[in-house]
Chain A
């Protein structure tokens, strides 16, 4: 890999030490809404990663020409255009998942991570760094979504990606899927457990 140390830091930081979901507490809403199954979680993760990476690049390229007073509008237009493209692609190639995600594809526009990265990073850095930053943050968000989706689908439905993984014989012994896992409150608790484990492994992140 020809990445410099700085680039590596930009790319890898959001995966753990500066994770948008479990450190900065951004994008929690969609993390609750779309993660009751693993498949929509993955699709959502990929969609957000694509949008945030390319929005970062475009805004970074335009950063010297955007008048400061209307920058939010410009950012919204760019993000809205990208979200529309993602939405159309999903409708064309993954219609079922698109239906499950419903409004949350459109609501990527309002995901705090997007505006946060555009404001905080893309407006002040070059396109290549911005691309890496967008990619890193999208993946950091995606990892958390996939972990939540994994546990919620496994414990809530007994399946993974729609395939049954908990053997039928368990159900005959009296095992029952945990209905609470399907409900949004449990997503919050799963996020809390991820934060718990993460802070326990990284002592420097613990607040006093």
Chain B
């Protein structure tokens, strides 16, 4: 540690104004504050100081995302070998998934951080750390077979139009990772939905070659529900890639087709525990998203005429990106509601809208992305009215005395 600090201090002058590497100043500063907590403090105004700065907070989120990422890698390999009908053992399965997922992570980080570094250098600002988390979220919410150039285009679009034009990290009104996914979803619908994209059937870097077995279908459980949505209730069971029926336990463990990081409720729960333990995310938002989802699903169960309406509340929480969105996306401190009461309202409505879209809209099997983006727009409004009502209540109390 000491040696690293000394080394940084030694090369620092090169990056100062007038140094020979001054054009990389923001990069150096970003790296320095990433490795060591900055010694600089704000010089004006009154600030509450915390020993945890934004970079450390972001790191906590990334650690919380690791279980979902590692499970996603394993599941990618698992689904692949299921499709070609072989079982090569744990490590081979994991390595296949690792090789399939790592390029997506790399592309997302290179494009996103490249734009962030360029903008920071251009505007002579510090590099903002927001993309550390977005960059790992993006690979987790896309299907594994999304072409890399599409991810590059969508990431660039999201970072520029959802973040930089609003002023950078902390000013964006939409969750950047979700804008990336929304862009992919609307721009390249064939690469983002259907039964061909969620399971990679081809080989990755030459390993895992094989022909797809008979009876294989890569449709996600939500996709199957969507296809069957207009049939009468009672006749439908979600199945895995080979046609075996799936129980709620299977959905909980998460060895099912889906976007890379969203399938396993166990991995997401571990992440949620880390986020709550470190105090990075709000339990109020998480809990109320689940409450909203359960409530809406229960109401639809009561109506229960079609397959989509009769999916049980528990299954709704386990299916697709609901849990992932609730834990990692809805709790985004920038785009979610900031008042404590507002968090309940924001979360609850997110859950409601997600299930309503899933159940009633035949075009979109999954509603979590659109629900969170929609509620991102309303978050400032919710906060405004929460604050207003608080002021009114206190005014009344003051007048009454």
Contacts and interface: CB of A to CB of B under 8 A. Distances in A.
Contact of A174 (B147, B161, B165, B187): B147
Contacts of B248: none
B150 A176 contact: yes
Nearest to B150: A176
Contacts of A196: 165
B36 interface: no
Interface in B159-205: 161, 165, 183, 186-191
Nearest to A181: B187
A179 B149 contact: no
A176 B161 contact: no
DSSP class of B's interface residues: helix, strand, loop or mixed?
Answer: helix
Nearest to A174: B147
A9 B162 CA distance: 38
B183 A180 contact: yes
Interface residues of B, number: 13
Contacts of B147: 174, 176
A178 interface: yes
Contacts of A178: 153, 187-188
Interface string A145-184: 0000000000000000000000000000011101111010
Contacts of A189: 161
Interface in A37-84: none
B187 A180 contact: yes
A183 B186 contact: yes
A179 B161 contact: no
Contacts of B189: 179
Contacts of B153: 178
**6 tightest A-B CB contacts, nearest first:** A180-B187, A178-B187, A180-B186, A179-B187, A176-B188, A174-B147
Interface of B: 147, 149-150, 153, 161, 165, 183, 186-191
Interface of A: 174-176, 178-181, 183, 189, 196
9 contacts: A175-B149, A176-B188, A176-B191, A178-B187, A179-B187, A179-B189, A181-B187, A189-B161, A196-B165
Given A176-B191, A179-B188, A189-B161, 19 more contacts: A174-B147, A174-B149, A175-B149, A176-B147, A176-B150, A176-B188, A176-B190, A178-B153, A178-B187, A178-B188, A179-B186, A179-B187, A179-B189, A180-B183, A180-B186, A180-B187, A181-B187, A183-B186, A196-B165
